[in-house]
Amino acid sequence: MELPGGIGSMSFGRPPGFILRNAAIWLLVLGAASPSQGASVQASHTGCGYSSPGVVSVSCEFSYEPDRQLLALLWTPGMPAQWHLEDAFGHGSPEINSNSQEIVFTGALTNNPVVFEYRVTVPPGYTGPQPLTGEVEYQLDSMTNGSSVLADPDPLFVDSHHRIDASASNYGWIDPSGVVIVAHGGSANFDMWPDPYYHVSNVLVDAIDIGSMSSYSFTNVTCDRTIEVVFAENLACMGTPEWWLAAQGLTNETVDFCAAETNDVDSDGMPAWAEWESDTIPTNFGSVLRVLSVQRTGADVRVEWKGGTNAWQSLETRQDLVDTTAQWRAIFTNEPPTDSVTDFLHTNLTSPRLFYRVKAWRQ
């Protein structure tokens, strides 16, 4: 092993002539040689896939305690036989050393983390997952001897094929769905199909929202990928869900959704959009949000009303309808599921006159 120039005092704990065949054993030997140096370092590498023949790129990162100086670094990739370490570039001017086995750093190691990339040529005939390892020797200024870590993950698997995980929220589907296998560098197209009265709200590719679309194509796939489609309900002009208007039979070929939501087909005084908000039936005159009675007994008032069962309700009161500075004030909030008939006792009243109203809404 040759170390980079300028650090001749560096001394690794590996006995001279020790031949590394098993990374776990090597780590054990070094750990015994440097038991209490207390360095906090982390090495990691990422790579996705390869074609055969072709090239695989591996991104590497080595980080250490921020108040330390990195004196030396040596990165030894492990890879399938016949795979060839080609070149490297990044922080510290990494180069492939003369034995084509190790990456040495010929420049100043002033970055923390040290970030670099190396490339490996893959000969013909390889398919499927292949392991890559990274054995990292280093010395910080706080250490009398060098030490080592294995790059995480150990091993890193790269693959000639990749998977695209395709999934959909409720109210639609994506085609194809589930796990789709794609060759390295290949393509795959996905179509989004919302249920009736729904639309594509968001498409997330690798968990990043890229907006709304009816299809999406991956090209030059070099890593595992994900795609997820989220559907949302279509809303008429005033916010009433189209599926609800259709389910209530309020639309036909001549009535569009925005007209349907303003109609009051059961003549109960509530247009369809208000019946949606209060969860009452827009085709049933008796199903409507309405105050049934207001009864005063001494200083108490009992208010009774009817409505739906799956909307929020609040009972509000006000002393004066003319005075614009007077505000409606909520005295009771009814959280769904509610009873279809509710009453509330307003107690210890001193005002000679009070008005009440009931409000309903969906969340």
- From the list 1-9, 192-200, 208-216, 267-275, the region that binds Ca ion by CB under 5 A is 267-275
Regarding 272 and contact with Ca ion (CB under 5 A), the answer is no
142-171 positions binding Ca ion, by CB under 5 A: none
203-232 positions binding Ca ion, by CB under 5 A: none
Provide, rounded to whole angstroms, the least separation between the CB of residue 237 and Ca ion.
20
- From the list 122-130, 253-261, 262-270, 348-356, the region that binds Ca ion by CB under 5 A is 262-270
Name every residue whose Cβ is closer than 8 Å to that of residue 38 and which is 6 or more positions away in sequence. Answer: 142
Query: Within 13 Å and on the Cβ side, how many CA atoms surround 284?
Result: 12
Whether residue 153 is preceded by a cis peptide bond, meaning omega within 30 degrees of 0, is yes
87-116 positions binding Ca ion, by CB under 5 A: none
- From the list 82-90, 114-122, 276-284, 330-338, the region that binds Ca ion by CB under 5 A is 276-284
Provide, rounded to whole angstroms, the least separation between the CB of residue 222 and Ca ion.
58
Provide, rounded to whole angstroms, the least separation between the CB of residue 286 and Ca ion.
7
The C-alpha atoms of residue 177 and residue 195 are separated, in whole angstroms, by 16
Residue whose CB is less far from Ca ion, 47 or 308 = 308
- From the list 114-122, 178-186, 287-295, 325-333, the region that binds Ca ion by CB under 5 A is 287-295
The C-alpha atoms of residue 179 and residue 182 are separated, in whole angstroms, by 10
Residue whose CB is less far from Ca ion, 51 or 263 = 263
**Terminal alpha carbon distance of the chain:** 68
Provide, rounded to whole angstroms, the least separation between the CB of residue 349 and Ca ion.
32
List helix spans (H) across the chain.
23-33, 242-247, 257-260, 272-278
Provide, rounded to whole angstroms, the least separation between the CB of residue 209 and Ca ion.
39
Q: Which residues of 282-303 are buried (b: 16+ CB within 10 A; e: fewer)?
A: beeeebbbeeeeeeeeeeebeb
Q: How many residues bind Ca ion (CB under 5 A)?
A: 6
Regarding 266 and contact with Ca ion (CB under 5 A), the answer is yes
Residue of the chain from 137, 159, 261, 268 that contacts Ca ion (CB under 5 A): 268
Regarding 288 and contact with Ca ion (CB under 5 A), the answer is yes
CB pairs under 8 A, 24+ apart, for 79-82? 79/120, 79/130, 79/131, 79/132, 79/133, 80/126, 80/130, 80/131, 82/123
Residues in contact with Ca ion by CB under 5 A are 266, 268, 280, 284, 287-288
